[in-house]
Amino acid sequence: MELQPVELLKIIKGYALQGASDNSILSLLEHLSPHTPLIKEKDKDLKTNNIYKEILKIVAGERDRARNVTHDLKGYIDTTDGTFSLNECYNAIGATDTKEKSIIRKTLSIMCTKKELEKVGTKTGTYVKVDTSIEYTDFTNSKGLGKPIKFETPLNVGDRTVFFPRSIWGLAGVTGNGKTTFVMNIIRNIQNDFETVYFYEAELGPGALQQKLGYFQCPLSSWKFKAICTANSNGVIQWDSSNIHQKIHPNAINIIDYLEPPEDKPWTIYHIMKKIAAALDQGMAIILIQKKEGAKFGLGGDWSAKATSFYTSLEWGVLKIEKNSYQQEDKIGRDFKAIDFEIGAGSHVKAKSGWYSEESKRQEEKKKRYADAGFEDDTFVRE
């Protein structure tokens, strides 16, 4: 049974909107209707001939319109950087009627099918361009990570790893448990050999900083580092988590005391630290982070460790290595991650033990408790 012109028109329109060529349109017409006037015009009466000519005329117009909208849409997508929405496409193309918006939706759907776009987010109608370009790493001709940055650290903890240019050492600690004193010992050791920049929180203040330095029992004039408070002398905030990467000295050892991510987005500390690393050249950064007592990582959880090559946690009297990207440099062994210390005269950090395994220490403490209770056999300890 032959299709009616209206039915035929619907099929042809849909076919044309998908980008069918003129020849394909004519072939489809011939296949669907044996009375196609452009094929057997001699056998057709005038009325039928005019109907089919009108179909072809409308189809040609719809196809040209679809091509124009599609062309403009793809031109807009080429200029976008990041995600874009369906409504942004409508506005960019100036699509106002139902047909043009339908063409845009269909084109976006086809581009998703072809893996040219991806739908993103939880809301419908949000897309991102698919970037399949890649660059293979030429590791055989790489210049490497550069010359290691070597300096003396309290408890010789720096000897457990290696610091290359652009490295980040994360130091998480409980408030009031010695983080600042620890890094001031580092500054004391390195300030004559490296450009040293100390970014510190306004809560400490110039007077409090001077007092802290005074505990080291040496003249203030012997301190050679650059100190940068969060607020300048007029009380205006000059650095925080949003712009610290812009203040970094690329070839210095930058010490940030401390880095605090936005309260509602603590995980963004990773992205902040990545920006800091990108701002470095031959220098490195030591970043202090607040943490809760007993927690392994500081604010942002393990996100605060992802951008670091070395990560240590500090509670009063105990320092632990939580991450070491260059474990191969460690001559002591990965199981011995903790060390006890005290802050002695002149605010010097002194070891109270050697490096030990936390598990072995727990067993020793348990064994001692059993011995104090009158059990000499350690069978109970090991259960």
Q: Over the stretch 11-57, which tens digit does the pLDDT of each residue have?
A: 766 766 666 665 566 666 667 665 544 444 444 455 555 556 556 55
332 shares its domain with 362 = no
Residue 378 confidence (pLDDT) above 70: no
201 shares its domain with 227 = yes
> What value, to the nearest 5°, has the Cα angle with vertex 359 and ends 354 and 360?
55
Mean pLDDT, rounded, for 174-192: 92
Structurally, the chain folds into a number of domains equal to 3
Q: How confident is the model at residue 304 (pLDDT cuts 50, 70, 90)?
A: very high
Q: How confident is the model at residue 197 (pLDDT cuts 50, 70, 90)?
A: very high
Mark which of 90, 112, 129 sits at the end of a domain.
Answer: 129
pLDDT at position 55 is 62
H/E element, 107? helix 98-113
> What value, to the nearest 5°, has the Cα angle with vertex 288 and ends 283 and 292?
160
CATH number at residue 49: 1.10.10.10
218 shares its domain with 182 = yes
Residue 62 confidence (pLDDT) above 70: no
Cα–Cα distances (Å) from 338 to 84, 155, 334, in that order, read: 49, 11, 10
Q: How confident is the model at residue 81 (pLDDT cuts 50, 70, 90)?
A: confident
Q: Looking at beta carbons, which pairs linking 258-263 to residues 24 or more positions away fall under 8 Å?
A: 258/179, 258/201, 258/287, 258/288, 258/289, 258/290, 259/287, 259/288, 259/289, 260/289, 260/290, 260/299, 261/299, 261/300
pLDDT at position 123 is 76
CATH number at residue 188: 3.40.50.300
CB atoms < 10 A from the CB of 206, how many?
Answer: 12
359 shares its domain with 216 = no
Residue 382 confidence (pLDDT) above 70: no
Residue 144 in any domain: the answer is no
- pTM of the complete model beyond 0.75: no
User: Half-sphere exposure of 323 toward its Cβ, with a 13 Å CA cutoff?
Assistant: 20
Residue 136 in any domain: the answer is no
Residue 314 in any domain: the answer is yes
Q: Looking at beta carbons, which pairs linking 367-371 to residues 24 or more positions away fall under 8 Å?
A: none
Mean pLDDT, rounded, for 284-309: 94
344 shares its domain with 372 = no
Residue 280 confidence (pLDDT) above 90: yes
**Average pLDDT over the chain, rounded to whole?**
84
Mean pLDDT, rounded, for 5-9: 65
295 shares its domain with 229 = yes
Q: Is the peptide bond before 258 cis (omega within 30 degrees of 0)?
A: yes
pLDDT digits (tens, 9 = 90+) for 97-118: 888 888 889 989 999 999 999 9
326 shares its domain with 368 = no
242 shares its domain with 309 = yes
Residue 149 in any domain: the answer is no
Identity at 275, one-letter amino acid code: K
pLDDT digits (tens, 9 = 90+) for 205-260: 888 899 999 999 889 999 999 999 999 888 899 999 999 999 999 999 999 998 99
341 shares its domain with 357 = no
76 shares its domain with 196 = no
Residue 120 in any domain: the answer is yes
Q: Measured between alpha carbons, how far is 199 from 171 in angstroms, rounded to an integer?
A: 14
Alpha-helical (H) ranges within 329-376 are 358-372
Residue 141 in any domain: the answer is no
Residue 134 in any domain: the answer is no
Residue 305 in any domain: the answer is yes
Domain coverage including residue 10: 5-129
Written as six digits, the tokens of 43 are: 């056998």
187 shares its domain with 327 = yes
318 shares its domain with 275 = yes
Residue 351 confidence (pLDDT) above 90: yes
